[in-house]
C-alpha cells in the first residue's frame, strides 16, 4: 500500500525517459468556475442518474464542485502546455505537462489561483498523443510490495471471513448485490484470466475502468498485481481458493498509483479517479494507497499536515465522503514509526481508515498508528492483515501482509451490509459498523473502535429499556433560549462542532474537550441570532447531525 512501488530502484527505461524529457507535470488551479453550458438547476446534464440517486438518498444537493472546469480557461492554458492530462472539477484544476517557463506564464494569468509542481518528468504516450486509441501498453514486471514477497499459503480463508462475520453475512443472503465498489490501485493483471474472477465478466459486473496514470491507456489489467490481490479480497468467488465478502457487487477499476516513481501527482490521480467513480454512481471506494514521503523531499508531509484538511488526496477523500461515498482506506504500514504513523488520506474525516490485527486479535506490528495531526483517533476499524488468503495475478492462492489487505475486507463487509440495509445513509452505515466493533466503548490509536462484526452491525446491539434510556445522543435544551447548550455525543474526549445556518454558512466551528466521556460537552452560542440551525459533530469517522432551534 502507499508507496506500492517500494522499489529497489527505478525502472531503467523510465529513468532514462525522465532524464531526456525536460517536461514536468503541474497542477494549475483556477480562481473561478464560469459556466456557459451547465447549470445547477439542471444537474442531470452533468451527473448520471446513479450519482443523482445517491445524492437523493443522502439528502445532498448538487453544488459547484459538481460543475466541470471552465472550458474557456482550458483554452487559454492549453497553448502553454505540452499536454493536458485531465481536469479535476473538485479541485477546480487541470493537470498539465509543461516546463518551468510555461508554468510561470500560467501563474501570471489573471484567472489562475496557483500553479504547483505535481511530478518531475513525464513518460509520453507511444505516439505522442494523449487521446491515443492505440493498443494498451504491455505489462511491466511487478516490483516487490512493501518489501514483503507474496507467499503461497496453506491457510484457510475461513478465519479472515469469520473474524468480521462474512460467513454469517453470506448465510443471511448478502453478497454486495446492487452495491457499486471502486478499487483504486496500481493495476489488475490476471483478473481477466484467473478463475476466481470469472463471474465478474460472465455477469458484466465491471461497470468501468480507467487509467489516470497513462490517460491514453484503455486497459487496467496490466502492471502491478497489488490491485489484483486487493480486488480478490472483495470480489473473489471460488470456494476451492477464496470466497470474499462482496463477490456480487459491481466494480469500477481505476489505476491511480504510478509504480515507477512517487510524486504528489498520484494524489491528483486519486481525486480524478474519485470524480470518475462518483459519475458512475459508486457507493464505496476501496483505496489501499497512502502517501507520506516522496521522491522529491520538498513534497513530504509532516505529522501536522495529516490533519484531515491539508493533503490533496485527503481533501479529495473528504469531498467524496461529503458526496455520500463510503471511502475505505488502509491506515498505512509504518507501524514501526510509532505514534501518528498514518498516511494520507487515512487522516480524512468522514471515512474509514483500516488497521490490521494478527490471529491473536492484537495490532500487527506494521499497522500504522494514530492520532492524526489534529488529535483525532485513527484508524477507525481493523481486520486481519497478517497474511490473509488472497489471489495472485497468476490465479494461484497466496498471502501477504499489510493494511492494504485488511481494508478491502472491511469494504466487502460494508457492501454486504449496505445491501442488507439500503435505507442507511453513509454516516448511518459507518455508525453501525463502529458500534459493532470490539472496542467501541474504549477506542484507541492502535485499532480504533476495533474489529467490526456483521451480525451486530446488521441487527444492532440488543439493549434493555434502561440501557436505551441511558444511551443519549442529543443536544439540549432544544429549543434553546440562552447562549449555552449541552451535547451528549460520542465516546471520546475530543470532538469538533459546527453550527451551520440555512444558507450553508458555518457560523461556529470549535473543538470540544471534556475529561469524562459520560459528561456532556458545553457549547457557547454567543453572537448567534435566533433561528433554525444545523449542528454537525464529528469524532473520528463518527459524524452526527441534528437541527437546533434558537429562540
Catalytically active residues, by annotation: 185, 226, 404
Helix (H, G, I), strand (E, B) or coil at 24: strand
Dist CA 251 CA 231 (whole Å): 9
Q: Which residues, including other chains, have CB under 8 Å from residue 222's CB and lie 6 or more apart?
A: 136, 137, 138, 139, 140, 187, 188, 189
* Residue 180, φ and ψ in degrees, nearest 5: -105, 125
Dist CA 268 CA 77 (whole Å): 18
DSSP code at position 69? P
Decide: 332 and 346 in contact? Cβ < 8 Å. Answer: yes
Helix (H, G, I), strand (E, B) or coil at 519: coil
Dist CA 405 CA 308 (whole Å): 23
**What do you get for the CA distance between the two ends of the chain, in Å?**
51
Buried (b) or exposed (e) across 438-454, using 16+ Cβ within 10 A?
bebeebebbbbbbbbbb
DSSP code at position 499? E
Dist CA 124 CA 211 (whole Å): 14
Torsion of CA 133, 134, 140, 142, to 10 degrees: 30
Helix (H, G, I), strand (E, B) or coil at 101: helix
Helix (H, G, I), strand (E, B) or coil at 316: helix
**Three cell numbers at 332?**
498505512
Decide: 153 and 398 in contact? Cβ < 8 Å. Answer: yes
Decide: 166 and 158 in contact? Cβ < 8 Å. Answer: no
Dist CA 402 CA 358 (whole Å): 11
Amino acid at each position: 500500500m502507499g508507496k506500492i512501488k517500494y522499489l529497489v530502484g527505478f525502472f531503467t527505461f523510465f529513468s532514462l525517459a525522465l532524464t531526456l524529457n525536460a517536461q514536468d507535470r503541474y497542477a494549475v488551479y483556477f480562481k473561478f468556475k464560469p459556466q456557459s453550458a451547465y447549470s445547477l438547476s439542471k444537474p442531470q446534464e452533468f451527473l448520471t442518474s446513479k450519482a443523482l440517486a445517491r445524492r437523493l438518498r443522502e439528502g445532498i444537493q448538487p453544488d459547484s464542485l459538481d460543475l466541470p472546469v471552465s472550458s474557456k480557461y482550458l483554452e487559454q492554458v492549453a497553448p502553454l502546455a505540452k499536454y493536458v492530462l485531465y481536469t479535476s472539477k473538485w479541485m477546480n484544476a487541470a493537470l498539465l505537462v509543461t516546463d518551468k517557463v510555461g508554468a510561470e506564464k500560467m501563474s501570471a494569468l489573471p484567472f489562475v489561483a496557483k500553479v504547483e509542481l505535481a511530478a518531475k518528468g513525464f513518460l509520453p504516450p507511444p505516439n505522442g498523443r494523449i487521446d491515443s486509441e492505440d493498443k494498451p501498453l504491455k505489462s511491466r514486471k511487478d516490483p516487490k510490495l512493501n518489501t514483503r514477497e507474496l507467499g503461497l499459503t496453506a491457510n484457510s480463508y475461513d478465519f479472515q471471513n469469520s473474524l468480521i462475520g462474512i460467513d454469517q453475512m453470506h448465510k443471511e443472503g448478502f453478497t454486495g448485490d446492487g452495491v457499486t465498489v471502486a478499487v483504486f490501485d496500481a493495476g489488475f493483471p490476471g483478473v481477466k484470466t484467473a478463475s476466481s474472477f470469472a463471474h465478474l465478466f460472465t455477469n458484466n459486473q465491471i461497470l468501468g475502468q480507467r487509467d489516470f496514470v497513462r490517460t491514453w491507456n484503455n486497459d487496467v489489467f496490466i502492471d502491478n498485481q497489488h490491485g489484483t490481490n486487493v480486488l480478490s479480497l472483495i470480489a473473489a468467488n471460488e470456494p476451492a481458493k477464496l470466497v470474499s465478502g462482496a463477490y456480487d457487487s459491481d466494480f469500477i477499476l481505476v489505476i491511480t498509483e504510478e509504480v515507477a516513481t512517487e510524486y504528489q501527482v498520484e494524489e491528483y490521480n486519486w481525486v480524478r479517479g474519485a470524480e470518475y467513480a462518483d459519475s458512475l454512481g459508486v457507493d464505496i471506494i476501496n483505496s489501499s494507497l497512502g502517501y507520506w514521503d516522496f521522491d522529491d523531499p520538498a513534497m513530504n508531509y509532516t505529522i501536522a499536515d495529516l490533519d484531515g484538511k491539508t493533503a490533496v488526496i485527503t481533501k479529495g477523500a473528504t469531498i467524496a465522503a461529503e458526496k455520500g461515498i463510503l471511502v475505505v482506506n488502509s491506515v498505512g504500514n509504518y507501524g514501526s514509526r510509532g505514534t501518528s504513523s498514518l498516511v494520507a488520506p487515512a487522516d480524512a474525516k468522514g471515512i474509514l481508515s483500516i488497521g490490521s490485527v494478527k490471529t491473536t486479535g492484537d495490532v500487527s506490528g506494521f499497522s500504522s498508528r494514530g492520532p492524526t495531526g489534529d488529535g483525532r483517533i485513527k484508524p477507525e476499524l481493523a481486520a486481519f492483515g497478517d497474511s490473509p488468503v488472497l489471489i495472485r495475478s497468476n490465479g494461484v492462492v497466496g498471502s501477504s501482509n499489510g493494511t492494504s489487505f485488511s481494508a478491502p475486507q472491511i469494504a466487502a463487509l460494508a457492501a454486504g451490509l449496505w445491501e442488507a440495509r439500503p435505507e442507511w445513509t453513509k454516516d448511518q452505515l459507518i455508525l453501525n459498523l463502529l458500534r459493532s466493533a470490539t472496542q467501541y466503548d474504549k477506542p484507541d490509536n492502535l485499532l480504533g473502535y476495533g474489529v467490526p462484526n456483521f451480525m451486530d452491525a446488521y441487527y444492532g446491539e440488543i439493549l434493555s429499556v434502561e440501557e436505551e434510556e441511558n444511551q443519549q445522543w442529543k443536544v439540549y435544551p432544544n429549543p434553546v433560549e440562552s447562549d449555552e447548550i449541552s451535547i451528549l455525543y460520542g465516546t471520546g474526549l475530543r470532538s469538533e462542532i459546527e453550527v451551520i445556518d440555512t444558507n450553508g454558512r458555518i457560523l461556529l466551528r470549535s473543538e470540544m474537550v471534556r475529561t469524562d466521556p459520560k459528561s456532556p460537552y458545553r457549547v457557547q452560542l454567543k453572537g448567534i441570532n435566533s433561528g433554525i440551525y444545523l449542528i454537525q459533530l464529528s469524532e473520528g469517522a463518527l459524524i452526527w447531525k441534528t437541527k437546533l432551534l434558537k429562540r
